């Protein structure tokens, strides 16, 4: 049930996104259905939560790291869930009429619902890691929402800024949560909340607090991270109304409330949180006075109110916490309605600039009345909800104990903030609805449609109801939420409008009068309309982003300037350093290694290999000779495998050697015969030194490894091969069974390589390096003989394949064995004639092979066994007798087909390149291209 509550917005987002062809009305209803359903699901739990119970539902997600999908509905979560869902319904309704015909409604509502779900997941999380996951999801979905009008530069910038700051904060929060998990031993919220003392006394506490506050302050736009919020105003107004009243920015203060039992109670917490809160409160409120954009003013006011809430939590008394929670509710109500009203004004007049607005009460009296009431609530005028929580704040500021200076400072800040709040609220009301104007509008403003006003009406009525009869309306809410933070030890407080004449009331009065005086005084002294403030934070942010890009560019250019040669050099050097560094420290050879002797014949092989390698090096510029010499090296490598008990490897190496040499020869047709000499002798010396150090280092490493005792799992592979995989060739069993999944990946790579070659050469035309005049040369080998050999080789290939599971052979080898006779046929009959007669589609061959391998692997899944489990049958066939068959042979068929298909695809495409239409051949050594000719060719 609780999980259903969490899933509802996500499912609805998916439905809305998929139903994008539905009419807008339907989409609006679908989107509204999600929060309504969520509220309905919340109803059955309400009684229990109000009684102090904590309904909970847990499902494992990634239990290895302590991450569970844990929905936990305590009082705080309940209050926030109601807030998110109720304001969500109103915003959906408002947006339904706000969005213009050009905006994509499905996209908007899908993002909005996604955000709603993320927010819900965050407040309902009973596991800190889960909370971080949803916290990140709110950052991402708010990025999508803020940047909804993605064609606008300011929307993109605002979205980027919000993502960079809140995403960075999320990272810090993750750090804090991991540390908390380390100290408390669990990410379970119950455990964490119960281990407050443990965490506060831990050495890691300053780190935990710092990182958590970084996350909270960035999300809740606290000074000095506040500047992203005004830029997020580029979002459509319903988004602002939702994100910046009830949800996104409240996520930070929610977390502050959530972790309050764990983090609060130290001097560090008190000073840092209340100071930052107070600065934000004052800076936000002061700046709000000088905004000309309606939404800008509201944005700075939001910053200021968030500062107030942070400050209240910072004061760390139970009553202050209650006041903070109360203000969260109040602020959500009046700010959402104000944003909506600003959106209506924008819609009707075409501008949000207060310098052009004015006297709107004449044109849209009803909307004006609503907005004025909400603005008065924002100012904290009695009989409205903002007044009550502000009173509580004043009372708390006066009652700070034990920090005399702090008490005075906070009291002063409280009165000042009260004044500023009244001043900007007054500016909002006076500049928009009274005075002269409006100026230079495109259309005559009038009352908006009925439906768009309903959400505003609901919210304003709530402001009034709470303001007039707080104990009846908001009382139960607040008790429930406070119990979620403070536990059962609730402070006694009275929610009443009239407490008699006391200090807080006098402070309110002073704020009210001071605010009025300040506003009209400022108007008289300066021309407020002419003051233009540039956002400092934005400039710093921009400069830093640009610097970061420049740095990244410089770094990239330094290590990869487009030259492959240079990159390879750096790669080799990096590998060298990484490998040498640990070797220099503790390289000790065993005192008396157990060495085995080598017979004379093997030394001869060794000599051939060394000489062959050096000869390759010596003649490498003469390419044809180099290919022939390197063949001898490959041959010696395969002989090594023969000698060292690796028959499968020897066979594979030998076959690959043959095919590779043919590839080299085919390629040489299109490459220059000779390499140009290396650039300079200094460079040759440098490369030679690097090469010798690398080779020497690797030789030492190999020697050190081989003279140590080996630790291997070979015994397990050997003993399980026959009973579990029914094969006695253990290498093949490993390939097609034990590590079959790897092999599947490897043949996929092999198939892809074939396709890449095909794709690169299929349509290209190339001129060979040299064109030999005259008719084709006669073959030095009798064509008839190879005709005879062809079926024989086919039989050998199949034989190699069939015996592979028990003797040397198998799919890889058989596939390559098949390549050679086919290649021979290509040479003898000519490509076109052969392909006409045999007509194999190699691309399809690769596909069938991969499918066969995958299908064999998947088949055991149908029987409930793990991927690639082997089965075994021994059918008795007439004449032949008993044939042992392991199911892995199906997999091997896949390997066989893929290897054959890809190898043939590579060879046939390389052999079948069509001649260039424009030139017969390149000739001689390559010279520097003539730039003029080059340009012409490109064009």
Partner 1 sequence: MEFAFASAIGVLTAAGVYLLLRSRSFDVILGLTLLSYATNLLIFSSGRLVTGKPPVLRPGVDPILANFTDPLPQALVLTAIVISFAMTAVILVLAMRGRSDNRVDHVDGNEPKDRDR
Task: Give the position of tokens 């070797």.
Answer: 583
Burial class (CB within 10 angstroms; exposed 0-12, middle 13-18, buried 19+) of 711: exposed
Q: Which is nearer to partner 1, 753 or 827 (CB)?
A: 753
**Which strand (E) or helix (H) includes residue 229?**
helix 228-231
Helix (H, G, I), strand (E, B) or coil at 786: helix
What Cα–Cα distance (Å) separates residue 4 from each residue in 32, 57, 189? 16, 10, 21
Least distance in angstroms from the C-beta of 855 to partner 1: 21
Encode 463-530 in three state secondary structure.
HHHHHHCHHHHCHHHHHHHHHHHHCCCCCCCCCCCCCCCCHHHHHHHHHHHHHHHHHHHHHHHCCHHH
Least distance in angstroms from the C-beta of 594 to partner 1: 9
Least distance in angstroms from the C-beta of 665 to partner 1: 11
Nearest partner of 394 among 386, 384, 404, 402, judged by Cα: 386
Q: Which is nearer to partner 1, 452 or 747 (CB)?
A: 747
Q: Which is nearer to partner 1, 540 or 618 (CB)?
A: 618
Phi/psi at 622 (nearest 5 deg)?
Answer: -90, 100
Q: Which phi-psi region, left, alpha or beta, contains residue 781 (left: φ > 0; alpha: ψ -120 to 50)?
A: beta
Least distance in angstroms from the C-beta of 750 to partner 1: 5
Q: Are strands 881-882 and 885-886 parallel, antiparallel or unpaired?
A: unpaired
Burial class (CB within 10 angstroms; exposed 0-12, middle 13-18, buried 19+) of 221: buried
Q: Which is nearer to partner 1, 11 or 659 (CB)?
A: 659
Least distance in angstroms from the C-beta of 914 to partner 1: 12
| CB burial readout 583-603, b (16+ within 10 A) else e | eeeeeeeeeeeeeeeeeeeee
Least distance in angstroms from the C-beta of 229 to partner 1: 49
Tokens of 72: 């936990």
Distance separating alpha carbons of residues 380 and 387, to the nearest angstrom: 4
Least distance in angstroms from the C-beta of 873 to partner 1: 20
Q: Which is nearer to partner 1, 405 or 563 (CB)?
A: 563
Least distance in angstroms from the C-beta of 817 to partner 1: 13
Least distance in angstroms from the C-beta of 871 to partner 1: 19
DSSP per-residue letters across 308-368: HHHHHHHH--HHHHHHHHHHHHHHHHHHHHHHHHHHHHHHHHS--BTTT---GGGT-HHHH
Q: Which is nearer to partner 1, 87 or 895 (CB)?
A: 895
Least distance in angstroms from the C-beta of 803 to partner 1: 10
Q: Which is nearer to partner 1, 431 or 737 (CB)?
A: 737
Q: Which is nearer to partner 1, 470 or 727 (CB)?
A: 727
Q: Cβ distance 65 to 247 under 8 Å?
A: no
Least distance in angstroms from the C-beta of 62 to partner 1: 31
Q: Which is nearer to partner 1, 263 or 818 (CB)?
A: 818
Tokens of 346: 């924008």
Q: Which is nearer to partner 1, 367 or 743 (CB)?
A: 743
Q: Give the list of residues 6+ apart from residue 808 with CB closer than 8 angstroms, or none.
A: 647, 648, 651, 729
Least distance in angstroms from the C-beta of 924 to partner 1: 13
Q: Which is nearer to partner 1, 493 or 922 (CB)?
A: 922
Helix (H, G, I), strand (E, B) or coil at 920: coil
Q: Which is nearer to partner 1, 154 or 687 (CB)?
A: 687
């Amino acid at each position: 049930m609780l999980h259903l509550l969490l899933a509802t917005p996500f499912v609805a987002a998916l439905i809305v996104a998929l139903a994008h062809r539905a009419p807008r009305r339907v989409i609006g209803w679908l989107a509204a259905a999600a929060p309504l359903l969520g509220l309905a699901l919340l109803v059955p739990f309400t009684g229990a939560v109000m009684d102090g119970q904590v309904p909970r539902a847990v499902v494992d997600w990634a239990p290895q790291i302590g991450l569970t999908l844990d929905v936990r509905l305590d009082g705080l979560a309940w209050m926030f869930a109601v807030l998110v869902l109720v304001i969500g319904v109103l915003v959906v309704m408002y947006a339904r009429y706000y969005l213009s015909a050009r905006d994509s409604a499905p996209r908007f509502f899908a993002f909005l619902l996604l955000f709603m779900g993320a927010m819900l997941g965050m407040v309902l999380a009973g596991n800190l890691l889960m909370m971080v996951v949803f916290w990140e999801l709110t950052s991402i979905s708010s990025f999508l929402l803020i940047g909804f009008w993605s064609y606008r530069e300011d929307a993109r910038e605002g979205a980027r800024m919000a993502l960079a700051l809140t995403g960075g904060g999320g990272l810090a929060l993750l750090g804090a949560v991991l540390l908390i998990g380390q100290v408390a031993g669990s990410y379970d919220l119950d455990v964490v909340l119960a281990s407050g003392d443990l965490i506060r006394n831990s050495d890691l506490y300053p780190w935990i607090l710092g990182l958590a506050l970084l996350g909270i302050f960035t999300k809740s736009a606290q000074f000095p991270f506040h500047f992203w919020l005004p830029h997020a105003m580029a979002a459509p107004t319903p988004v602002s109304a939702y994100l910046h009243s009830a949800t996104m920015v409240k996520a930070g203060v929610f977390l502050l409330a959530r972790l309050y039992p764990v983090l609060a109670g130290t001097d560090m917490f008190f000073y840092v949180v209340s100071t930052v809160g107070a600065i934000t409160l004052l800076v936000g409120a002061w700046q709000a006075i000088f905004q000309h954009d309606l939404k800008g003013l509201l944005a700075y006011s939001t910053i200021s109110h968030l500062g107030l809430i942070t400050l209240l939590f910072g004061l760390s008394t139970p009553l202050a916490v209650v006041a903070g929670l109360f203000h969260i509710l109040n602020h959500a109500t009046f700010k959402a309605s104000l944003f909506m009203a600003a959106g209506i004004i924008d819609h009707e007049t075409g501008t949000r600039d207060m310098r052009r607005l004015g006297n709107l009460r004449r044109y849209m009296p009803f909307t004006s009345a609503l907005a004025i009431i909400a603005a008065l609530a924002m100012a904290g005028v009695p009989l409205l909800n903002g007044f009550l929580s502000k009173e509580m704040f004043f009372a708390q500021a006066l009652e700070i104990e034990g920090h005399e200076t702090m008490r005075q400072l906070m009291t002063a800040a409280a009165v000042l903030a009260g004044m500023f709040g009244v001043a900007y609220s007054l500016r909002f009301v006076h500049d928009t609805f009274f005075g002269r104007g409006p100026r230079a509008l495109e259309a005559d403003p009038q009352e908006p449609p009925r439906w768009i006003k309903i959400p505003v009406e609901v919210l304003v009525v709530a402001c009034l109801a709470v303001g007039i009869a707080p104990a009846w309306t908001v009382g139960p809410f607040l008790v429930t939420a406070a119990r979620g933070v403070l536990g059962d030890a609730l402070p006694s407080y009275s929610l009443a409008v009239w407490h008699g004449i006391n200090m807080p009331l006098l402070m309110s009065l002073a704020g009210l009068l001071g605010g009025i005086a300040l506003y009209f005084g400022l108007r008289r002294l300066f021309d407020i309309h002419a003051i233009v403030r540039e956002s400092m934070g934005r400039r710093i942010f921009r400069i830093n982003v640009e610097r970061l890009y420049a740095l990244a560019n410089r770094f990239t250019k330094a290590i990869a300037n487009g030259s492959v040669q240079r990159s390879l050099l750096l790669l080799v050097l990096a590998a060298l350093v990484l490998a040498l560094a640990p070797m220099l420290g503790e390289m000790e050879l065993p005192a008396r290694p157990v060495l085995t002797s080598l017979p004379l014949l093997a030394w001869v092989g060794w000599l051939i290999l060394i000489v062959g390698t050096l000869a390759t090096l010596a003649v490498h510029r003469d390419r044809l000779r180099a290919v022939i010499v390197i063949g001898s090296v490959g041959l010696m490598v395969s002989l090594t495998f023969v000698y060292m008990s690796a028959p499968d490897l020897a066979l594979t190496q030998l076959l690959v050697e043959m095919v590779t040499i043919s590839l080299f020869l085919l390629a040489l047709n299109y490459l220059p015969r000779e390499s140009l000499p290396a650039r300079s002798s200094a460079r040759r010396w440098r490369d030679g030194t690097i090469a010798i150090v690398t080779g020497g280092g690797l030789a030492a490493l190999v020697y050190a490894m081989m003279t140590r005792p080996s630790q291997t799992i070979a015994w397990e592979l050997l003993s399980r091969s026959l009973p579990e995989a029914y094969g006695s060739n253990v290498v093949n069993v490993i390939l097609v069974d034990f590590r079959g999944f790897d092999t599947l990946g490897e043949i996929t790579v092999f198939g892809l390589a074939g396709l890449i070659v095909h794709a690169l050469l299929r349509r290209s035309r190339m001129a060979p390096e040299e064109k030999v005049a005259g008719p084709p040369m006669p073959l030095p080998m009798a064509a008839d003989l190879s005709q005879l050999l062809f079926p024989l080789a086919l039989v050998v290939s199949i034989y190699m394949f069939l015996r592979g599971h028990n003797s040397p052979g198998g799919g890889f080898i058989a596939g390559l064995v098949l390549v050679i006779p086919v290649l021979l046929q290509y040479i003898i009959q000519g490509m076109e004639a052969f392909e006409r007669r045999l007509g194999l589609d190699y691309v399809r061959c690769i596909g069938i092979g991969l499918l066969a391998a995958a299908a064999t692997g998947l088949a055991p899944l149908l029987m409930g066994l793990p991927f690639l489990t082997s089965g075994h049958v021994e059918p008795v066939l007439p004449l032949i007798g008993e044939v042992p068959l392991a199911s892995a042979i199906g997999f091997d068929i896949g390997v066989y087909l893929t290897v054959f298909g890809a190898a043939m695809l590579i060879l046939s495409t390389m052999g079948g390149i069509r001649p260039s239409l424009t030139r017969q051949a390149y000739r001689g050594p390559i010279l520097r291209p003539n730039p003029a000719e080059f340009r012409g060719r490109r064009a």
